Structure 1
Amino acid sequence: MFEIIQSGGWMMIPIIICSVLAAAISSERFWTLRTSQIAPANLLGQVWGWMKSNQLDGARIKELRDNSPLGRVLAAGLMNSKHGRDIMKESIQEVASHEIHEMERYLNALGTIAAVAPLMGLLGTVIGMIKVFSEIMLAGTGQAGMLAGGISEALVTTAAGLSIAIPALICHRMLQRRVDEVVVFMEQESLKLVDVLHGEREVVDAPESQQPVGV
Structure 2
Amino acid sequence: MFSIIQAAGWPIWPLILCSIAALTIIVERIMSLMPRKVAPPTLLGEVVTLTRHGLPSSEVIGKLEANSVLGGVLAAGVRTAAQDPRADESTLRHAFEAAGRAAAHRLERYLNTLGTLASAAPLLGLLGTVVGMIEIFGSQSPGNSNPEQLAHGISVALYNTAFGLIIAIPALMFYRYFRGQIDAYIVELEQAAETLLPQLLRMSATPRR
Q: TM-score scaled by structure 2?
A: 0.90
- From 184, 187, 201, the counterpart of 1:184: 187
SS in 1 for 2:56: coil
AA paired with 2:138? S
- From 74, 87, 91, the counterpart of 1:87: 91
- How many residues are treated as equivalent by the alignment? 198
SS in 2 for 1:80: helix
CA–CA separation in structure 1 for the residues paired with 2:167 and 2:190 = 35
CA contact (8 A) 2:125 2:163 kept: yes
CA contact (8 A) 2:51 2:199 kept: no
Unaligned runs of 5+ in 2: 203-209
Unaligned runs of 5+ in 1: 200-215
> What does 1:1-215 align with in structure 2 at a 5 Å threshold?
1-54=1-54, 56-81=56-81, 82=85, 83-137=87-141, 139-141=143-145, 143-198=146-201
AA paired with 1:153? V
C-alpha deviation, 1:155, in angstroms: 0.4
CA–CA separation in structure 2 for the residues paired with 1:109 and 1:22 = 8
AA paired with 2:75? A
Root-mean-square deviation (Å): 1.5
1:27-70 per-position Cα deviation (integer Å, ceiling 9, x unaligned): 00001110111111111111122123347222221211111111
AA paired with 2:118? A
Percent pairwise identity? 40
Q: TM-score scaled by structure 1?
A: 0.87
Q: After the TM superposition, which parts of structure 1 deviate over 6 Å for at least 4 consecutive aligned residues?
A: none
Residues 104 and 154 of structure 1: is their aligned pair in 2 closer, same or farther, counting only changes over 3 Å? same
